Chain A
Amino acid sequence: MNAVTLRVNGTEVTADVAPRTHLADFVRESLNLTGTHLGCEHGVCGACTMIVDGRPVRSCLSFAVACSGADVRTVESFDDDPVMDLLRHAFSRHHALQCGYCTPGMLATAYDIVTRLPNADEARVREELSGNLCRCTGYVGIVAAIRDVLAHGPHARTVTTKRSARSAQVTTTGWNVAAKIDTDDGHRGRSTGLIPLPARIDGGITLSRAVFVPVPVDRLWTTLHDIDTVAKCLPGASIEEVREDGSVLGAFAVAIGPMRARFTGAAQVSYDVASCSGTVRGAGGDGISRSRADGVIEFRALAAGNQGSKLDIDMTYKLSGPLAQFGRPAVVTHVVDVLLGDFAKNLALASEGETVIASAPVGGGGLVLGTLLAMLRRLFFNDRT
């Protein structure tokens, strides 16, 4: 817990807050100011918009601990505000709300529009409102209400906007030793247990790689047949135990910029000696972000040139859940492409007799594929030979 002092609706408040408590939760849970509504909680819907230091901000994206010294105004504090009074009546007249869930945020944004942009036309009002979603009224009434108030302006804002408010002197606070983080509290890598392997991956993305390996094809094939080595070659993956029956316990992890995910689940490897080929199928869930990954890797060893061989790898994968929403497809594809390239390179090195120290998260163009897939929790070994 960290101590914080700020002004809320004109009253100075001092409280101990957990750093992860955002401003909306703080006013709702600690101060019982439940007029602020939470919608998406990741900055998209605008329902939680409130006035901080005279400016509308996303209270779900503002940590209370970072608002030390700030002047916070929630919807409850505008009862006697003349501009907000005009807006309230205009919203009522123009049917600018139905369920009312978005309304506190709409009012905060509307207040900003009518006081900051006295000459805003309809297009500008709509542009300024684009960060506040309403799922009932279709915006026509909201836009009309704001334009109505604008037409009776200009309006002086009764809350002051001061740049200096955010420039308040801070002294560097040291780390709170008493609040030592327990990194083993399960929040950074909890297992979700086994996830059934899908029969096939619909709508997956397929990437292919081919690398030349300067060893005879039988040596490459021997390497590919060693599950432990194959896992070590897959960046971010690690195997904890290879069992007698061929099933394997392991892990796989990925990072995309600041994003981390750790997938636990199941995987299965099968080989076909006749064609010197094999398949790894895996599925895993990241319990913390509620994301899921499914993947299939098909590999084939072919003779190539004099005493050389070629390794063909096709990988099909599909992400779902928040990571899929956030890690934009083209970015994820780049990450997986880098992963695949390193996997192929590592397999080639292993075939040449190099020791692959392995499972270090991959860096590719600065990307670290380090914690996406603790996927090989249980790897069933199924040798068709």
Chain B
Amino acid sequence: MKPVRFEYAAAASSAAASALLAQVADDAKPIAGGQSLGPMLNLRLARPSALVDVSRASDMRTARDEGDAIFYGGAVTHAEIEDGDVPDATPGWLAAVARRIAYRAVRNRGTIAGSLVHADPAADWVNVLTALGAHVVVARGSAVRTVALCDFFTGPFATVLAHDEVVAGVRVLKRRATARWSYWKFCLKAGDFAKASAAVLRDPERRETRILLGAIERPPVLLDDPLAILQGRRSLADVVTQAAPHLSDEARTLHIAALRRAIALATSDGKPGGGS
């Protein structure tokens, strides 16, 4: 099928994109790589009256070292992270995650902010960047606000963004090799959306321990008292049931397994990082 008719404009910057969105009906949407919105447009499940193309907005195509963090422009593609075309804020974790997103042809156009704004609960960046404590930088005209990803998602496919707000980029704190990380996801086939996922971060330097339960068809959940979970003082079945009571028995079983495997990867004596 073909999309319904829409108006199109390209933006040279995130601020320009926001201004363009403010000029049209509030069903207009920004589009970057179009790898999530595109299928919905083609199936006519999404019918925006206008699209603002941010895939070449200059401030969204850059990545820069900010000392304690790396800022990734929103239109940086998954393939560019996979290939190391932009700096990795972590010891290779982001590149490993990027490589497992969908397929190469999708990664060549799909973008980091597009994935976050689409807010599919099963998407990799939604879960991984929340687990890493990342922040999105949101542009509205020339004004900018920063939102922690743990406060960004309000539901499946839903975020705090107003219709004329654009995610200009993502700020990811640097993690050193002393930190440990794991991300486990279950997919029915390579490149498919995850049925269940879990991520573990242990960063002794920053004194941060986070465990995330993802792909629960709701925004991801950062689990309470992660140290107790890592030390085996809490039953994983209870933890999952408490964090995501809506899961079916089958889904709960998968999530418990994902959590167990992510914890095993992050606490084993093997090399840090890895697992996806």
A residues whose Cβ falls under 8 Å from a Cβ of B: 2, 18-20, 22, 25, 41-44, 46, 49, 52, 55-58, 60-63, 65-66, 68, 108-109, 112, 126-128, 130-132, 163, 166-176, 179-183, 185, 187-188, 256-261, 288-289, 291, 322-323, 326-328, 330-331, 334, 364-368
User: Does B124 reach chain A (CB closer than 8 Å)?
Assistant: no
- Please indicate the chain A residues that have their CB under 8 angstroms from the CB of B189 in the complex: 130
User: Does B174 reach chain A (CB closer than 8 Å)?
Assistant: no
- Please indicate the chain A residues that have their CB under 8 angstroms from the CB of B119 in the complex: 257
B158's nearest neighbour on chain A, judged by CB, is A366
- Please indicate the chain B residues that have their CB under 8 angstroms from the CB of A181 in the complex: 5-7, 49-50
B56's nearest neighbour on chain A, judged by CB, is A170
- Please indicate the chain B residues that have their CB under 8 angstroms from the CB of A42 in the complex: 38-39, 42-43
Q: Which of B16, B47, B154 contacts A260 (CB 8 A)?
A: B47
Q: Which of B3, B20, B121, B154 contacts A175 (CB 8 A)?
A: B20
User: Does B260 reach chain A (CB closer than 8 Å)?
Assistant: no
Query: In the complex, what distance in Å separates the CA atom of A259 from the CA atom of B27?
Result: 11
User: Does B267 reach chain A (CB closer than 8 Å)?
Assistant: no
User: Does B53 reach chain A (CB closer than 8 Å)?
Assistant: yes
By the criterion CB–CB under 8 Å, are A166 and B156 in contact? no
- Please indicate the chain B residues that have their CB under 8 angstroms from the CB of A364 in the complex: 155
Top 6 closest A-B pairs, CB basis?
A257-B157, A131-B103, A366-B158, A366-B154, A365-B155, A19-B8
A47 CB to closest chain B CB (Å) equals 11
- From B104-112, B136-144, B221-229, B268-276, give the one contacting chain A: B104-112
User: Does B177 reach chain A (CB closer than 8 Å)?
Assistant: no
By the criterion CB–CB under 8 Å, are B106 and A173 in contact? no
By the criterion CB–CB under 8 Å, are A172 and B3 in contact? no
By the criterion CB–CB under 8 Å, are B217 and A172 in contact? no
A50's nearest neighbour on chain B, judged by CB, is B105
Q: Which of B2, B10, B43 contacts A68 (CB 8 A)?
A: B10
Q: Which of B6, B24, B47, B58 contacts A288 (CB 8 A)?
A: B47
Query: In the complex, what distance in Å separates the CA atom of A258 from the CA atom of B31?
Result: 12
- Please indicate the chain B residues that have their CB under 8 angstroms from the CB of A131 in the complex: 102-106, 191
Query: In the complex, what distance in Å separates the CA atom of A167 from the CA atom of B189?
Result: 33
- Please indicate the chain B residues that have their CB under 8 angstroms from the CB of A63 in the complex: 8, 34
By the criterion CB–CB under 8 Å, are A173 and B9 in contact? yes
By the criterion CB–CB under 8 Å, are A176 and B4 in contact? no
By the criterion CB–CB under 8 Å, are A167 and B61 in contact? yes
- Please indicate the chain A residues that have their CB under 8 angstroms from the CB of B23 in the complex: 175
- Please indicate the chain A residues that have their CB under 8 angstroms from the CB of B41 in the complex: 20
Do A289 and B12 form a contact, CB below 8 Å, given A19-B7, A20-B3, A49-B105? no
What number of B residues sit within 8 Å (CB to CB) of A?
Answer: 75
Q: Which of B8, B24, B105, B251 contacts A330 (CB 8 A)?
A: B251
Do A334 and B246 form a contact, CB below 8 Å, given A20-B6, A366-B154? yes
By the criterion CB–CB under 8 Å, are A172 and B40 in contact? no
Query: In the complex, what distance in Å separates the CA atom of A309 from the CA atom of B6?
Result: 49
By the criterion CB–CB under 8 Å, are B155 and A43 in contact? no
B108's nearest neighbour on chain A, judged by CB, is A55
By the criterion CB–CB under 8 Å, are B20 and A172 in contact? yes
Query: In the complex, what distance in Å separates the CA atom of A42 from the CA atom of B34?
Result: 11
A-B contact pairs, 10 of them (CB 8 A): A46-B103, A56-B108, A57-B108, A63-B34, A112-B104, A131-B103, A167-B56, A170-B10, A183-B49, A258-B37
User: Does B64 reach chain A (CB closer than 8 Å)?
Assistant: no
Do A365 and B158 form a contact, CB below 8 Å, given A46-B103, A181-B49? yes
A164's nearest neighbour on chain B, judged by CB, is B61
Do A168 and B56 form a contact, CB below 8 Å, given A175-B50, A181-B7? yes
- Please indicate the chain B residues that have their CB under 8 angstroms from the CB of A56 in the complex: 104-105, 108
By the criterion CB–CB under 8 Å, are B9 and A61 in contact? no
Q: Which of B2, B24, B104, B157 contacts A258 (CB 8 A)?
A: B157
Q: Which of B14-67 contact A (CB under 8 A)?
A: 16, 20, 23-25, 29, 31, 33-35, 37-51, 53, 55-58, 61
By the criterion CB–CB under 8 Å, are A66 and B10 in contact? yes
Q: Which of B13, B38, B191 contacts A172 (CB 8 A)?
A: B13
B191's nearest neighbour on chain A, judged by CB, is A130
Do A334 and B13 form a contact, CB below 8 Å, given A19-B8, A46-B103, A163-B80? no
Query: In the complex, what distance in Å separates the CA atom of A258 from the CA atom of B4?
Result: 14
By the criterion CB–CB under 8 Å, are A20 and B2 in contact? yes
Do A18 and B5 form a contact, CB below 8 Å, given A42-B43, A49-B105? yes
By the criterion CB–CB under 8 Å, are B7 and A176 in contact? yes
B26 CB to closest chain A CB (Å) equals 11
Query: In the complex, what distance in Å separates the CA atom of A289 from the CA atom of B12?
Result: 33
B7 CB to closest chain A CB (Å) equals 5
- Please indicate the chain B residues that have their CB under 8 angstroms from the CB of A57 in the complex: 105, 108-109
